[in-house]
Structure 1
Amino acid sequence: MWRNIVSNFLTLAIVLLVAAGGLVAWAKREYVEPGPLAEAMCLRVAPGASLRDVSQELSDKDAVSNSYIFRTGAQYENKASALKFGSYLIEPHATMSGIIDQITSGGPSTCGTELVFRIGVNGNEVLLRELDPATGEYQKTAEYDPETEKPPEGFEQKADRPDVRTRVTVVDGVTSWQIVQGLREASFMSGKIADVPAEGSLAPDSYEVNRGADRQALLDLMESRQSTILANAWATRADNLPYDTPEQALTMASIIEKETGVPSERAEVASVFVNRLEKGMKLQTDPTVIYGVTNGQGVLGRGLRQSELRKATPYNTYVIDGLPPTPIANPGRAAIEAAVHPDSTDYLFFVADGTGGHAFAKTIAEHNRNVAKWRALEKQRQDQSSGN
């Protein structure tokens, strides 16, 4: 009898051990295999959040199949108490182990809210935007002009959350003076700026910064990045360019940047100026004249006067031969590439075509016809706007 009891007990124990082993194996597979999440999601780990809070949210959003396995796996890996606050982009079918790695490794947030200070040609703006995990695109949620407006209601409370990423975006074609003025308006940054950097020496780009970041340090980074971009572009430049130094190429790039906002036109615009230089023709470009009037300190805000077009300044390319002495703005990478790799054309002229681009011409007669078309379009628009 006792022998049967012992035998049955051992059999049951073996069955339980086998079942337990199978359960453990299943749990391990659940922890490391792709999860049930169908679309990307943004997971916000708040300061002080517990692993239970996080696992419950993931379970509620069908990102993990079992919250208990998620917590147990984190404990087994000694990561249960290593949560780092922030906002994390969880990809579709992310594994539990992968999610644990994300939320315990720290680093910058990969989704959620961004505070962006945008330095533009015609002014600056501060905006909040949220990443849409499904599309990977940011959606603007609030904005204001820091020079003329106060933050909208609730803006500062959202912007001050510790997991909000902070970014300074510098638009192609802004001047060094505009960048310095913009950084001085960026209240989330600190430190003084010694001097306005040389025109053209700063790389337009989007820079992620920490709150309290030093303004001068960011300028130094912009300068270093632009120097690298220019050096790399100059090293692979086309043969027989009509300028001899990378600094002259940078000046040409700044003119290209100010003349067209159409990416596909940059190399074509470059070809016009290259052709004019090679033929000894004056560049005759309005943006350089405007720079001579404003010294890069803001926008002109009106058309050029005939007296300004005739006045001799180092930047009046209707008067001087060749390039002006310095860049007239900070060109982006694409404009620099266009300056050192211009298209091969016979064009010598261009004028706006009414669509945002330009009409190019090889002869003055063809150019005059394009100018006449442009003036007719302008008159038609003026008549429509005045109700005639």
Structure 2
Amino acid sequence: MYIKKILLTIVLLGLAAMAVFSYYIYDKIFTPNTSFNNEEAHIYIPTGASFAYVQEELEPLLKDPESFAVVAERKGYPSNIKPGHFVIKKESNNNEIINSIRIGNKPIDIKFNNQERLENLASHLSNLMEPDSLAFISAFKEASFLKKAGFNEDSALGMYLPNTYEVYWNTSAESFRDKMLKAYNVFWTPARDSKAKKIGLNREGVMALASIVQKETAKEDERPRVAGVYVNRITLGMPLQADPTVIFAKKRAENDYNQVIKRVLYKDLEIDSPYNTYKNLGVPPGPISMPDVSAIKAVLNYENHEQLYFVADVTNFGYHKFAKTLSQHNRNKAKYVAWINKNGVNR
């Protein structure tokens, strides 16, 4: 009888211990373990990250980092860390947190526009995605890719159409580049190719001209009219004589893209550069900035008129005065020059 009591006691103690242990495990796994007040928190885990790195990133978001580590070890997470952008919901427990960061890589939306060079675009993207700027610029300028896609380093910027794109944060620079090429080829429908051909330009030429149109006017409703001026000049074999191309040529020649130039001087028109449309016929070798879709459409759907000149309208800022003849243009220009002199715009 005494032995039976001892055995019964041992069994009861064992069951009690198992109950305590089960509760402990349950508590570690299924009790909410977030400390933030927002509905969700975002975490970015880079490729090759260690478990220590993940713990450090998660620590400010958790009530009990130690219990998370215990559960993560039991679920084998430290040996199966996935890179990406992950979302953790408020009041998630350790089990849900681990599942979220193991299989829940969420895409992000990225936007870009008005980038002047591939280098600027690479820098911008490196602030939004995992690859650094060197990885992006290397992918953008890869010789074999450019040759296969039909671009060169001068024209390649035109391949990246300003828009909002859904991508994974840890997408490689090469995969991102390839995605942009697909978007570019989708944009260029047979109808748009046909319109470009009627102007006498290929896709790259349209992108270069669109970048000039965009630099000339920020007013989208005026862009088709400005485009019409340049199409008229191309048709007549006249030089484009676009001041934005001279500004770009100056920046390029001096390797200083940060300088702000508000006024083009006569000496600037003599800069020896393929981008100087005062010295060279036709469009420049590539875009002088990243044209947006409105500028591209303005070129393809240019306004059909007889204007050959335009200058800033000092009575309606942001817009321009257009002219058919040089004498009429010179009268408009005189008013503009008088205004900039009066306001001390020297450079």
Into which bin does the TM-score normalised by the smaller protein fall?
0.5 to 0.7
2:330 counterpart of 1:368: yes
Task: Report the alpha carbon displacement of residue 183 of structure 1 after superposing the two structures with TM.
Answer: 2.2
Paired AA for residue 319 in structure 2: G
1:298 aligned onto 2:262: no
Distance (whole Å) between structure 2 residues aligned to residue 297 and residue 228 of structure 1: 35
Q: Which structure's residues are more often helix, by fraction?
A: 2
Which one of the candidate residues 165, 179, 184 is aligned to 1:207?
A: 165
Q: How does 1:54-93 map to 2 (within 5 A)?
A: none
Alignment of 1:154-233 (within 5 A): 166-172=108-114, 174-184=116-126, 186=127, 188-190=129-131, 192-193=135-136, 194-197=138-141, 198-231=156-189
Describe how 1:265-304 pairs up with structure 2 within 5 A: 265-295=222-252, 298-302=257-261, 303-304=263-264
* In structure 2, C-alpha distance between the alignment counterparts of 1:173 and 1:46, rounded to whole Å: 32
Amino acid at match of 2:175: A
1:176–1:330 contact (8 Å) kept in structure 2: no
Gaps of 5+ in 1: 1-43, 48-83, 88-161, 384-388
Q: Which runs of 5+ in 2 are unaligned?
A: 1-37, 42-86, 91-103, 142-155
* Counterpart in the other structure of 2:295: 335
Q: Distance in 2 between matches of 1:169 and 1:188?
A: 11
What secondary structure sits across from 2:223 in the alignment? helix
- Separation in 1, partners of 2:119, 2:274: 19
- How far apart in 2 are the matches of 1:204 and 1:233? 20
Residues of 2 paired with 1:268 and 1:196: CA distance?
A: 33
| Deviation per residue, 1:188-245 (Å, 9 max, x gap) | 523522244513121111234444343443333233322322345524527842x242
Partners of 1:232 and 1:298 in 2: CA distance:
36
**Structure-1 residue corresponding to 2:211:** 254
Q: Which amino acid counterpart does residue 279 of structure 2 have in structure 1?
A: V
Q: TM-score, normalised by structure 1?
A: 0.52
Matched letter for residue 337 of structure 2: R
Q: Distance in 1 between matches of 2:332 and 2:114?
A: 28
Counterpart Cα distance in 2 of 1:227 and 1:254: 18
Code of the aligned partner of 1:291: F
Structure 1 residues 217 and 164, CA gap change in structure 2 (3 angstroms): closer
- 269 and 173 in structure 1: CA distance in 2 versus 1, 3 angstrom threshold: farther
- Percent identity between the two aligned chains: 30
Per-residue deviation, 1:348 = 0.4
| Structure 1: distance between partners of 2:88 and 2:298 | 44
- Whether the 8 Å CA contact 1:314–1:325 is kept in 2: the answer is yes
Residue type matched to 2:113 in 1? V
Distance 2:197 2:173 in 1: 39
> In structure 2, what is the Cα distance between the partners aligned to 1:175 and 1:250?
13
Tell me, in whole angstroms, the C-alpha distance in 2 between the residues paired with 1:188 and 1:181. Answer: 10
Structure-2 residue corresponding to 1:316 = 276
Match of 1:199, as an amino acid?
L
Query: Which TM-score applies when normalising by structure 2?
Result: 0.57
2:31 aligns with none
Aligned to 1:378, what secondary structure does the other structure show?
A: helix
Number of residue pairs the alignment of both structures matches: 230
- State the one-letter code of the partner of 1:176: L
Shift, 1:163, TM fit: 12
- Structure in which a larger fraction of residues adopt strand: 1
| SS, match of residue 350 in structure 1 | strand
How far apart in 2 are the matches of 1:46 and 1:187? 19
Give the letter for the 1:171 counterpart: N
Contact 1:199 1:330 in 2 (8 A): yes
Q: 1:231-246 residue pairs with structure 2 within 5 A?
A: 231=189, 234-235=192-193, 237=195, 240-241=198-199, 243-246=200-203
One-letter identity of the residue aligned with 2:239 = K
Return the offset for 1:382. Answer: 3.8
Q: What letter corresponds to residue 301 of structure 1 in structure 2?
A: V
Deviation for aligned residue 1:310: 1.0
CA contact (8 A) 1:281 1:321 kept: yes
